[in-house]
Amino acid sequence: MISAKSIAARVESLAQEISDHFKGTDKLIVVGLLRGSFVFIADIVRELDLPVEVDFLETSSYGDDMESSREVRILKDIRGEIEARDVLVVEDIVDTGHTLNHVIHLLQSRNPKRLEVCALLDKPSRREVDIKAKWVGFEIPDEFVVGYGIDYAQLNRNLDHIGKVRFL
């Protein structure tokens, strides 16, 4: 669906937009949502022209299924303080919106100075919660995808591109 070359070009342009938006910050706290976004986080952080601290939050709403349970569990919380700090949440896919909505409410309760979201992929046709990322890499149709850190049952994270899962 999306080539490695297209991803690299989009990451570069997203990082420029994010750097411009947060220009002047003393430090941007990048909160990566594990596990699907880890490759995207690494690539985008390397392209940011800002002082950056990286932290991680791990959630679960899928398990090994192809459909979200809509029950969001926090498996690993961030370690650092974000009060009065600039925060960028980096997500792999905004699908139903339940996970991102839960994470945003959790982090906003900790009183960051600014909190924005960057998502690699967006599936607006699946949205059940009114939530949007400020920056989106690619809008995709309602397909189950893997690659570039995104998995199905822990497989295919190592692909350098985004591909759709086909079942025989």
Tokens in use for 29? 């706290």
| CA angle 106–10–162, rounded 5-degree value | 80
Distance between CA atoms of residues 160 and 101, nearest Å: 28
Q: Output the CA torsion 148→133→89→66 (10° steps).
A: -50
- Strand duo 28-34 + 52-60: pairing: parallel
Distance between CA atoms of residues 10 and 24, nearest Å: 23
| Catalytic annotation, residues | 95
- Strand duo 73-76 + 52-60: pairing: antiparallel
Distance between CA atoms of residues 134 and 14, nearest Å: 10
Instruction: Determine which helix (DSSP H) or strand (DSSP E) holds 21, and give its type and residue range.
Output: helix 4-21
